[in-house]
Amino acid sequence: MSLLYQRKGPLASRSRERYNRGMTPTDRENLERWDRDHVWHPFTPMQVYAAETPLIIREARGCTLIDLDGREYLDGVSSLWCNVHGHRVEALDRAIRDQLDLVAHSTLLGLGNVPSIRLARRLVEAAPKGLTRVFFSDDGATAVEVALKLAFQFWRQATTPAPRKTQFLSLTLAYHGDTLGDVSVGDLGRFHHLFAPLLFPTLRAPSPHCYRCPLGLKRETCKIDCVEVLVEQVRANAATLAAVVIEPIVQGAAGMITAPAGYLRRVREVTRECDVLLIADEVAVGFGRTGTLFACEQEGVTPDLLCVAKGLTGGYMPLAATLATERIFEAFLGPPEAGRTFYHGHTYTGNPLGCAVALASLDLLQAPTGLTALPAKVARLGMWLDRLRAIPIVGDVRHRGMMAGVELVEDRESRRPFPASRSIGRAVCRLCREQGVLLRPLGDVVVVMPPLAVSLEEIDRIGATLEAALRRAGESA
C-alpha cells in the first residue's frame, strides 16, 4: 500500500448507540472528572481547561480522531506534528505486534537489539552523506540535548583539542525543546523566561523572519542580510564557539518561519570555514514534512549532528535519534580509564518496539510511490492558503511542504498584532473544532500541519473550515 494513499471517502458512519457500546454515561463522567482532577496537560492553561468540557479521544482511523461520543475530528496538526501516515495503518500496527512476539524492550547500555541495529543502518543510508553514527534517545528534546553535550565534549577530546569552544549560537525565536540545554539555546520567552537563572548564556543571530524582519528590511530588496549577521558572529566568535544550532528551512514553534533559499547553505559554509559544528534540529521538519525526506537535502547540506524524532516512527511511538559524523564519534574512543566515553543515556534508548515501527514507517516513505503524491497535496494546501490572504485579519501566510502558519493581525497595514487578551488564534481554532477540524495555534499563528497521508478532499475540508472560521473571527474582531 502506498504511503500517501487516497482514501475513498469519510469513515463509515455508525450510530451513537453502536459506538458507545461498553461506554456508559457514568464512564464518560468519570473520565472527564479524572482528567480535570489528575491530568496535568502540557502547554495548557489548566484553569481555562478545567472550566471547559474536555475533548477526550477514544480512537482514530486514517487522518481522523474520534471522541467518546463518536464525533469525528480531522487531525489538522498531525497529533502535534508527528503523525505521517495516518492512524491505525496496517503495516505500522503489524510491525509493533510482530515485535511484541519477540521482545518489547531490552537496554542498549552494553547490549544491542535487532531493530535498533537495523534502524541505525537505515538512517545512515537515508540521511545526508557523511552522517555515520546514530545515538538513540526518546524525543526531540533529548535528541537536541544529546547533540549539545556531544558538541561540548567533542572539543575537549578532538584530535586538536579546543577547550575554549564552549558557546552555542542559535536564532532568535528558536525552540529546540524543554530540557535545560534546549531551553538555553531556545528563545521563546513565553515558554522559558522563568527559567533564565538556570540556563547557560547563548549567542543569538536574527531569525530569518521576513514578515517581521529583525533588521527592518524588505524581502524584495534584501540579500538575506540576516544570515550575513550570523556569518559575522560566527567569524568573530570562532575561537569559543562550539556549534551553531538551527532548524533547517522552517522554524516551527516560532510561528512556521520559513528561511529564504540559500540561508541554510550559507550557514553551513561559514561553520565549515570557521571549524564550528553545525547542529541541525530536524525534529519537526524531517521525514517528508518540508517535501523531502530530510530538510537539509533541499540545500545539499550535511550537518555535523542531525536530530530527528516526531515523524521517525510515523507518530506511533516515542523515539528519537542524533546522527553524528565519524569525526565526532572518533573523539569519544579510548580505553575506559581515559574518560572519553559519552556518559549519557535513557532507559528506553533504542526501544525495540519504537525501532520496529520506525523501520516500517521508513519502508512506506521510501517505497517507489512513497512521496509521489506529496507535490499535488502541497499545491492543494497552497491554493487554500492563498485564498486566506484576502481575509482582513490575515497578516501573513507561511508555507513549506506540508507545514503552514497563518499569522493573524489586528491591523494589516501596520502589522499590529491583536492584544494577547483576545486569544484570537485560540478562538479561530475553537471555531474549527466545532466544525470537526482540529488545529492548534502558536499564539496568533494558526498552524496547519496535517499528516502526509491526508487526502486532497481532506485538505479541502481543512481549508474551507479554516477560511470560514477566519472570516467569522474577522467579523467579530
- State the average pLDDT over residues 421-450: 97
Distance CA 356, CA 363 (A): 11
Break the chain into its structural domains and give their ranges. Answer: 16-81+373-476, 93-366
Distance CA 454, CA 86 (A): 7
The pLDDT-based confidence of 218 (bands split at 50, 70, 90) is confident
Task: Work out whether the CA dihedral 378, 380, 386, 392 comes out positive or negative.
Answer: negative
If residue 245 lies in a helix (H) or strand (E), which one and from where to where? Answer: strand 241-246
HSE, CB side, 13 Å, CA atoms: give it for residue 346. Answer: 19
- State the average pLDDT over residues 49-76: 96
pLDDT of residue 369: 85
% of the chain surpassing 70 pLDDT: 95
The pLDDT-based confidence of 233 (bands split at 50, 70, 90) is very high
- State the average pLDDT over residues 182-205: 94
The pLDDT-based confidence of 15 (bands split at 50, 70, 90) is very low
pLDDT at 184 over 50: yes
Cell of 379: 499545491
Alpha helices in 39-69 (DSSP H): 46-50
For 382-391, write each residue's pLDDT tens digit. 999 999 999 9
pLDDT at 444 over 60: yes
pLDDT of residue 221: 85
For 196-212, write each residue's pLDDT tens digit. 999 999 999 999 999 99
pLDDT of residue 22: 63
pLDDT at 38 over 90: yes
For 250-300, write each residue's pLDDT tens digit. 999 999 999 999 999 999 999 999 999 999 999 999 999 999 999 999 999
The CATH fold assigned to 16-81+373-476 is Aspartate Aminotransferase, domain 1 (3.90.1150)
pLDDT of residue 223: 85
pLDDT at 446 over 70: yes
What's this model's pTM, rounded to 2 decimal places?
Answer: 0.94
% of the chain surpassing 90 pLDDT: 90
- State the average pLDDT over residues 303-325: 98
User: Strands, DSSP E only, in 247-393?
Assistant: 250-251, 257-258, 277-281, 305-308, 320-325
Please report where in the chains the cell 528506553 appears, as a residue. 348
pLDDT of residue 6: 37
Cα radius of gyration rounded to whole Å, the chain: 23
Q: Is 44 exposed, middle or buried, given 0-12, 13-18 or 19+ CB atoms closer than 10 A?
A: exposed
pLDDT of residue 20: 55
- State the average pLDDT over residues 111-129: 98
The pLDDT-based confidence of 21 (bands split at 50, 70, 90) is low
The CATH fold assigned to 93-366 is Aspartate Aminotransferase; domain 2 (3.40.640)
pLDDT of residue 466: 98
pLDDT at 17 over 70: no
pLDDT of residue 477: 75
pLDDT of residue 14: 47
- State the average pLDDT over residues 91-112: 97
